[in-house]
Structure 1
């Protein structure tokens, strides 16, 4: 049995190449969670009809897999659950490339809880400009938008109707917001959770403008740094890019980029990729 996982910072989608097993768990970014946390969390998320010892190959594509040390956290945790599997850990950006571009070269991006971008040569990531993560960068991400909203809420600079809607939806004081960000774990996930607020309030000019300016920052601070970017199509994976596709397409046009694929998740493309790979090996 071949199991594939698309792991973001917030959630992970797991599926077998024959689609007989399909489930979700938390996201496991090794910058924010350790080995013990992963084992405990994933063990609770496994379907009742699923025996992890049946997995012979596991391909995990995850956020935060920037070096061997971080990849080892994931691999060691998964070995304790999938004890008979050959395990490969790759960056979620490679997953985006394979789902969006297949074996063709081009530009690929992730716009979800965090942000990432690259040039892909059809096989490997040829150039990646670091997003600098959620404290320093991640422009255009769900976390970036959530941080801006929360800052405006704390400073009381949002329009009155937005403040009223926010308070009605979340019942959070400024102290509670600060506590979640500065003393509790997974602050990036907390901030990104407020993307739902924007999705529910797209009739409001403040929300639309904040989303647009966040995408503008993304293009200006990251995308425009790639050589010849205007000659490439903009392809994107992630819920934030998918939910706000119309605004994202408009901002891309302002920066001279034609939009290609914008997908919510790469999982279908990854399942097909590994199913084809397995079929070729069998032949």
Structure 2
């Protein structure tokens, strides 16, 4: 038995697969990011939210995760796993490589993530050959749940939301401006806090204000990320993530305005990763 894991900052999907490539079970846990969480916190999640649901020790683990872009962070992830499972084989890749492997397989193309955060890459069928740097929720993450939530919260704090939206927002979240600022600047994981406002936008997407908020967020992603890839309009273009999936109609429309065709949009990568590793 072995495990293929797809982890973002919000949640992790653990695919438990047998030697024949059959999915035995799927386990969900909190996500983690080595940029924001120390090894002991990651280890705690593994002990509490993964280990109790496994019937046996895995032979090896393939882990794709947010924040695994440096050798130090990859080492921190391996150390955390080995403290729980012992000296087993652990392969660590970036979440962007997960998107490339699952969405494009061995084909050339552009793979994009639009979930809590955002990222993209140009993939040649084997390796990532170009990546527009992702600047995280403070400076970048265009088109992501965090970006959309930040725009919504900012406009509410400025008093710029239409009255009916402002009232609905306050009724749903029970926030005061002071509460919101404390959550952003004085507590952990502000990116997750901001992304939690994206479902409100989805539930009110029929409202022109919310529609334009999402449309402008995707325009920013296209301008900052997609347009940097020269082969964009002649290779496959695929997306994964909750934001891409739930706002797919708007995403397709904004791309089509620029003569960009999307090949596929997936909510998650599970099946694609299993197919890639166990064809």
TM (norm. structure 2) is 0.95
Structure 2 residue ranges without an equivalent (≥5): none
* Alpha-carbon distance between aligned partners in 2 of 1:103 and 1:233, rounded to the nearest angstrom: 11
**Which residue number corresponds to residue 177 of structure 2?**
174
2:101 paired with 1:98: yes
2:270 paired with 1:274: no
* Alpha-carbon distance between aligned partners in 1 of 2:29 and 2:182, rounded to the nearest angstrom: 25
Q: Residues 60-209 of structure 1: matches in 2 within 5 Å?
A: 60-209=63-212
* Alpha-carbon distance between aligned partners in 2 of 1:198 and 1:71, rounded to the nearest angstrom: 35
Q: Once structures 1 and 2 are overlaid, which stretch shifts more, 220-229 or 176-185?
A: 220-229
**Which residue number corresponds to residue 279 of structure 1?**
none
How far residue 41 of structure 1 moved from its aligned partner, in angstroms, is 1.9
* Alpha-carbon distance between aligned partners in 1 of 2:32 and 2:51, rounded to the nearest angstrom: 18
Mapped contact 2:65–2:92 kept (Cα < 8 A): yes
**Which residue number corresponds to residue 35 of structure 2?**
31
- CA RMSD, Structure 1 to Structure 2 (Å): 1.3
Q: Residues 210-221 of structure 1: matches in 2 within 5 Å?
A: 210-221=213-224
Structure 1 residue ranges without an equivalent (≥5): 277-283
How far residue 275 of structure 1 moved from its aligned partner, in angstroms, is 2.2
Q: Secondary structure at the match of 1:108?
A: strand
**Which residue number corresponds to residue 8 of structure 1?**
8
* Alpha-carbon distance between aligned partners in 1 of 2:263 and 2:232, rounded to the nearest angstrom: 13
Mapped contact 1:234–1:252 kept (Cα < 8 A): no
Q: Secondary structure at the match of 1:158?
A: coil
How far residue 250 of structure 1 moved from its aligned partner, in angstroms, is 0.4
Mapped contact 1:29–1:63 kept (Cα < 8 A): yes
* Alpha-carbon distance between aligned partners in 1 of 2:263 and 2:165, rounded to the nearest angstrom: 33
Mapped contact 1:55–1:84 kept (Cα < 8 A): no
* Alpha-carbon distance between aligned partners in 1 of 2:34 and 2:259, rounded to the nearest angstrom: 36
Q: Secondary structure at the match of 1:87?
A: strand
Mapped contact 1:230–1:255 kept (Cα < 8 A): no
* Alpha-carbon distance between aligned partners in 2 of 1:228 and 1:122, rounded to the nearest angstrom: 14
Q: Deviations over 1:47-77 (max 9, x none)?
A: 645146x201100000111110111111111
